[in-house]
Amino acid sequence: MTETSPAKPPLVLAAANTGMFGKNDPGTLTLAEGQLRFETASGVAFDVPVSELTKAAFSMGDSVFKVVVQGTKYRFYFGEGYGDRKFDESQSVSTKEGLNGYRDSKAAGKALKAALGI
């Protein structure tokens, strides 16, 4: 009999695609079964295999995640005022309590960084 390892639960984070000139597109960044997905109120921005991510990097104490997906640059911030969910490391999901600033932002980024193996 062959044992299989249990599937990892999805990592769901409140995040905002931020950019120059005040651009702020809040949504949900989800990592599950080798796929990374970003969804906003406008719909799904991307849903791609992790292997298709390029130039993935973290900065600002891991609270900022920069990545290129299918030729489009994204800059995600996990922090207060971006989305309506709080990172909860014990559940590996977000909860609807609001983010608690830079510390939660760093925890969310570090969890994503570890899950991506970067």
Q: What is the pLDDT of residue 99?
A: 46
Q: What is the pLDDT of residue 106?
A: 84
Which domain covers residue 28, as residue numbers? Answer: 11-116
Higher pLDDT, 93 or 118: 118
Sign of CA dihedral 48, 50, 51, 56: positive
* Domain annotation covers residue 77: yes
Using one digit for the tens of pLDDT, what is the confidence trace for 56-93? 999 988 888 999 999 999 999 885 444 444 444 444 44
Higher pLDDT, 92 or 23: 23
- Quick check: 38 and 74 in contact, CB under 8 A? yes
Higher pLDDT, 20 or 88: 20
- Quick check: 69 and 85 in contact, CB under 8 A? no
Output the domain CATH number for residue 62: 2.30.29.30
* Domain annotation covers residue 5: no
Domain count, the chain: 1
Residue 113 has pLDDT above 60, yes or no: yes
- Quick check: 96 and 86 in contact, CB under 8 A? yes
Q: What is the pLDDT of residue 21?
A: 61
* Domain annotation covers residue 1: no
Task: Take residue 105 and report the two structure tokens written for it.
Answer: 């932002």
